[in-house]
Amino acid sequence: MIGSPPARTDELGALARLGVTELRSAVSGLGAMHRSVAGTVFGALRPVLGSAIDSPRMVHDAVTDGAYLSMDALLDTASSAADAMPASTFAVSQTPHGAVALGVLNGLIGDDLDAADSPLAARMSIRSAGRPIPVRPAAIADEFSDARGHVVVFLHGLMESEQAWTIGGRPSYGHRLSADISAGEVQIRYNSGRHISQNGLDLADLLADLVLLWPVPVSRLTLIGHSMGGLVIRSACHHATERGDWWPRLVTETVCLGTPHLGAPLERGVHVLSSMLQPLSATRPISNLLRRRSAGVRDLFHGNLTAADWAEQDRDAWQHPPGADVPLLSTARHLFVTATMTRNPAHPFGRLIGDGLVLAPSGRGEPTRSRLGLRFSDGLDLGGAHHFTLLNNDDIYAWLLAQLRPRRALPSAPPDP
Query: Is 0.75 topped by the overall pTM?
Result: yes
Please identify every stretch of the chain with a pLDDT value under 50, giving residue numbers as ranges: 1, 3-4, 6-8, 409-413, 417
The reported pLDDT for the residue numbered 7 is 44
Which pLDDT value is given to residue 417?
46
What's the pLDDT tens digit per position in 155-198? 999 999 999 999 988 999 999 999 999 999 999 999 999 999 99
Give the Cα separation of 322 and 305 in Å (integer).
10
**Do 105 and 120 form a contact (C-beta atoms < 8 A)?**
yes
Neighbour count for residue 173 (Cβ, 10 Å) = 26
Distance between CA atoms of residues 55 and 63, nearest Å: 12
Q: Which residues, 6+ apart, have CB-to-CB distance to 319 below 8 Å?
A: none
What pLDDT, on the 0 to 100 scale, is given for residue 237? 97
SS3 call for 323: coil
Q: Under a CB-based contact definition with an 8 Å cutoff, are residues 255 and 224 in contact?
A: yes
pLDDT digits (tens, 9 = 90+) for 216-264: 999 999 999 999 999 999 999 999 999 999 999 999 999 999 999 999 9
**pLDDT value of position 51:** 74
